[in-house]
Amino acid sequence: MMDATAKATRPQVAYLLAVAVAAAMAYVSSRFLFVGSGLNVLPWGALAIAFGAFARNKAQATRQSATYGFAQSFIFLWVDKSGSTSVGQFLLLLIVTFLLGLFGAICGGVLGRAGWLIRARIAS
């Protein structure tokens, strides 16, 4: 039988896994996979659907995939960032990157919910 600490820790590990996978995928996408192409969103979307399909419930599917989407977008935009910038440029870039990360979270959440629905449809 699981105690309360183990039950509370398991979802946190799932979110950390989502961020770790997003970081790895962001690096691979920016350096090797479809460099300079919009086709990068295809494996990103497939991973968001997979996170949703393997989640424990519908709410976790949405939250975990949204976490993945935010991290994927945010980290991808910073991985390829090079050069020196002023403080003002840095703050502007941070705000724009954060807003694009929120868009990634919305897309990830929608795809995670779709993954959950696909799983439910297959299971029934």
Q: What is the pLDDT of residue 79?
A: 80
Number of H helices, E strands in the chain: 4, 0
Q: What is the pLDDT of residues 24-33, one digit of tens each?
A: 999 998 888 8
Better pLDDT: 22 or 87? 22
Q: Show the domain range for 75.
A: 4-123
Q: What is the pLDDT of residues 81-122, one digit of tens each?
A: 666 678 888 888 889 999 999 999 999 999 999 999 999 999
Which pTM does this prediction carry?
0.84
The values of phi and psi at residue 62, to 5°, are: -70, -45
Share of the chain above pLDDT 90, in %: 57
Q: How far apart are CA 21 and CA 25, in angstroms?
A: 6
- Tell me the residue type at 104: G
Overall number of domains in the chain? 1
